[in-house]
Amino acid sequence: MVASTFSTMQDNSAHGEDNLLTRDLGNGDFLDVVMDGVTGHGGAEASRELGEALAESQANTIQDITATVNSVNEEFFAVGGGRFLLTTVSAALYRGGQLYVAAAGDSPIILVTPDSHERLCGRTGGFLHVGVARAVGAAAVLGEMAQRDITIQPGVRIVLATDGVTDNMDVSELAEIIRTAATPEEAAARIEEIIAGRLVEGRVPEKLGVRFRYDDRTAIIRFFD
C-alpha cells in the first residue's frame, strides 16, 4: 500500500456551483470527488446534493459510487427533466493500492508520473472529447460512467479539477507544476498564482482560446509517497 498526502483548492466566487468531497476510508484508503454544477441549470444545488449523497452513502467500492450517482441522477431528472439540477462528477477511489476512477461529465482527473501525464477521464484545454458521458441529471438513465482501474506506484500524483482550472491552464503546464512541486500545498498555491495572474490579464495561452474563462475553480491534488 502506498501512503498519500493531499491539498484542496477552491474559489467559488464566479457562480458558486463547484463542490468537492474527500473521505478518509482508513488504512491509507480514500475517496476524492469533484463536482461542477452547470451554470443556469440549478448547478449549485445539484453539486451540493450529489456531494451530500456520496458522503452519506458511505460508499466503499466503485460500484457503490456509481450506484449512488445513478440513483441521484434519477432523482434529478424526475425533478428537472434534463434541464435543471445538472452537474458533473469525477471520483477517485483508492483501495489497497488500486485507484478506481469513475466520471460523468467533463471534469478531468489527470495522472502525473515522473516523466509523463495522462488524462484518465473528462476533458482538458477547453475542448470536449467525443464520447464523454453527459452530466448527472441530463437524462433519465445516466448510462455507463467513464471508468479506469490503475495500480498506483510510489511517486505518482493525481489531480481532480473543474474547468475553471483546466480551461485556463494547459494540461502539460498543470502536470509540470504538480510533478515539480515538493508538496500538494505548494502545487495548489502555484496553480492559484498562475490563474490569478491570467485573470488580471484576461488572457490565456493561444491553444486554450486566448480569452480567460471566468468560472469557479476547484481541485484536489494528491501525492503518493
C-alpha cell at 118: 495522462
Tens digits of residue pLDDT in 4-13: 999 999 999 9
CA angle 202, 207, 211 (to 5 degrees): 20
Tens digits of residue pLDDT in 198-210: 999 999 888 888 8
How many C-beta neighbours within 10 Å does residue 150 have?
17
Q: Do 88 and 79 meet the contact criterion of CB atoms below 8 Å apart?
A: no
Percent of the chain scoring above 70 in pLDDT? 95
CA angle 55, 60, 61 (to 5 degrees): 120
C-alpha cell at 171: 494540461
How many structural domains compose the chain?
1
pLDDT at 207: 86
pLDDT at 206: 87
CATH of the domain at 10: 3.60.40.10
Gap between the Cα atoms of 183 and 59, Å rounded: 28
Tens digits of residue pLDDT in 68-114: 999 999 999 999 999 999 999 999 999 999 999 999 999 999 999 99
Gap between the Cα atoms of 74 and 78, Å rounded: 6
Tens digits of residue pLDDT in 166-213: 999 999 999 999 999 999 999 999 999 999 999 999 998 888 888 999
Q: Do 84 and 41 meet the contact criterion of CB atoms below 8 Å apart?
A: yes
How many C-beta neighbours within 10 Å does residue 137 have?
33
What DSSP letter does each residue of 18-87 carry, written as one string? Answer: EEEEEEEEETTEEEEEEEEBPTTTTHHHHHHHHHHHHHHHT--SHHHHHHHHHHHHHHHHHHHTTSSS-B
The whole-chain average pLDDT of the chain stands at 92
**Residue 187 domain boundaries:** 4-224
Q: Do 196 and 205 meet the contact criterion of CB atoms below 8 Å apart?
A: no
Gap between the Cα atoms of 20 and 146, Å rounded: 19
- With cell 464520447, the residue in question is 131
